[in-house]
Amino acid sequence: MRNRNMFIIIAGLFLVGLILRLVTGIHTPVIAVALLILLILFFVGSKKKPGKTEDPLPNLTKTKEEHYASLGMTDQEIDFFRDTMNITKKQIVQLQENMNASTKLRAIDLRNDTIRVSKALFKELVKEPKKLHLANHFLYTHLPNLVDLTSKYLEIDDHEIKNKQTYEKLEESAQIIDQVSKLIKKDYEQFVAEDLEDLDVEISVAKNSLKRDNEGNNHQE
């Protein structure tokens, strides 16, 4: 396709040059140089119009690479995980900016620990990337929705003139933001629930061990 386009462009320029030669009487070499300059400018200009590119991922450190390898993750799984976490990190940063931009939103954040909980869940995922699927609601629904809701809230709150309907809509939005913040806290609690269960088991085992040791010492006395 590229070769075909190139042929069409060159043929078109040749035709234009021929017409100019017949109409104006300008020498062919002069026309050829002018058309060559136009051709160069065309391609240089086209290269200066790249499509929108996403921010590149940070370099994969040796420690992280070894961590992923120890978990048996494939290259595809690692790429997917890193892409997901890169997006999530940006969303958390944006959410923090949004929450700090409004007294009402700051109050919601303080009441639900929204930012702190989001960062904590992010850290848990970094430690245990194989559990990414357990945070689906947080990653793909609750966090993105909360970023959108808070952004829209700030946009409306910034209106120079507000009427009764505006204040009602802001209050309704604040209530929804509060509810979604609670869902994010629940996402975190559910994600770490297994760790808490494991800890309960370890505590139970330790208690039984201590009990046996104490009973053995009592019998020896």
| 172 and 102 in a common domain | yes
Q: Which residue has the higher pLDDT, 48 or 120?
A: 120
CB contact at 8 A, 180 and 145: yes
| 94 and 30 in a common domain | no
| 115 and 201 in a common domain | yes
| 75 and 7 in a common domain | no
Phi, psi dihedral angles at 71 (to 5 degrees): -90, -5
Rounded CA gap, 108 and 169, in Å?
16
| 71 and 41 in a common domain | no
| 110 and 37 in a common domain | no
Rounded CA gap, 183 and 140, in Å?
13
| pTM listed for this prediction | 0.66
pLDDT higher than threshold 50 for residue 214: yes
Note the residue count of the chain: 221
Q: Which residue has the higher pLDDT, 173 or 43?
A: 173
Mean pLDDT of 130-140: 95
Which one of 4-13, 112-121, 206-215 scores highest in mean pLDDT? 112-121
Q: What is the pLDDT of residue 15?
A: 57
Rounded CA gap, 88 and 98, in Å?
15
| 81 and 43 in a common domain | no
| 131 and 80 in a common domain | yes
Mean pLDDT of 126-154: 96
Q: Is 35 exposed, middle or buried (0-12, 13-18, 19+ CB in 10 A)?
A: middle
Report yes or no on 53 lying in a domain: no
Query: What DSSP line would sit under 137-182, residue for residue?
Result: HIIIIIHHHHHHHHHHHHHHHT-SS--HHHHHHHHHHHHHHHHHHH
pLDDT band at 14 (very low <50, low <70, confident <90, very high): low
Report yes or no on 60 lying in a domain: no
| Helix and strand numbers, DSSP H then E, in the chain | 9, 0
Report yes or no on 58 lying in a domain: no
Q: Which residue has the higher pLDDT, 175 or 21?
A: 175
Q: Provide the domain limits for residue 206.
A: 65-217
The tally of domains found in the chain comes to 2
| 184 and 93 in a common domain | yes
| 77 and 42 in a common domain | no
pLDDT (tens digit, 9 = 90+) per residue, 40-97? Answer: 556 555 554 444 445 677 788 888 888 898 999 999 999 999 999 999 999 999 999 9
Q: What is the pLDDT of residue 166?
A: 94
